[in-house]
Structure 1
């Protein structure tokens, strides 16, 4: 091997070694932290993946009536598993929640059959999540929603 190439190779290895040793050994790898709204979902029997992994600026639940509001850092678009439907979340999501059921939802829409549909309710049924769009329902394994989806971008209100 050429002595100059060997020297450069050893120098690079030393630089990498030095940069690794300068890193804080107590520094933790950033983890996806769940907001209190995500945690609240689990208290009602829902997976955290029903809310996008975005900044939750606030949420409130009336323990008596079940009325809730979630205020996101902005509207966002996601792709819902497993059928890759595009869904949008408004900046504000409202509805009523009780154990295993959300109703009167406002702020979540899904695109199917070339049209935007409002998701009006969500039920937790055993190992499944049932989405309601008016009288029509669609059932998916809840394990598809174990992780919060990442917002793909802003959406229009169309």
Structure 2
């Protein structure tokens, strides 16, 4: 009987440790979100598995273009993550004309991602976010290297 209890404890401990060793990108994917909604360069993250509250840490502010927009990630980004959705997002903004507006939510519906900025939203295909953008050049880094 004690061997069974010991085995169960070892299994539970190894499961907890492996769950804690997920990268922030793997946490996104586990929640049906593509890794590309966060740029490369995460240095650490915190996640409360009960509430879904998370914080992602970068060394610096990260900016890059996405189509006609410019996107900015602050050194700390936080929000609540659950299956297919990030809510109460803080630390991510988009430049529209001359004004920076906060992106407050990201939601996945099928093969579409919807980004909410106040009452407005914009949809993009999920496949565009399969890879994480890089600070400075975003999703277009390879194109800049090959066109040089």
Q: TM-score, normalised by structure 2?
A: 0.74
The structure number with the bigger radius of gyration is 1
Number of matched pairs: 116
2:129 maps to 145
**Which structure 1 residue ranges, 4+ long, deviate > 4 Å from structure 2?**
none
CA RMSD of aligned residues (A): 1.4
Paired with 1:89 and 1:119, the residues of 2 have a C-alpha distance of 10
Deviation for aligned residue 1:134: 1.3
Q: TM-score, normalised by structure 1?
A: 0.70
The answer for unaligned runs of 5 or more in structure 2 is: 1-21, 138-148
Deviation for aligned residue 1:69: 0.4
Paired with 2:99 and 2:111, the residues of 1 have a C-alpha distance of 28
**As a proportion of its length, which structure holds more helix?**
2
2:118 maps to 134
> Which of the numbers 45, 52, 58 marks the counterpart of 2:39?
52
1:61 maps to 47
Deviation for aligned residue 1:106: 0.4
Deviation for aligned residue 1:113: 3.0
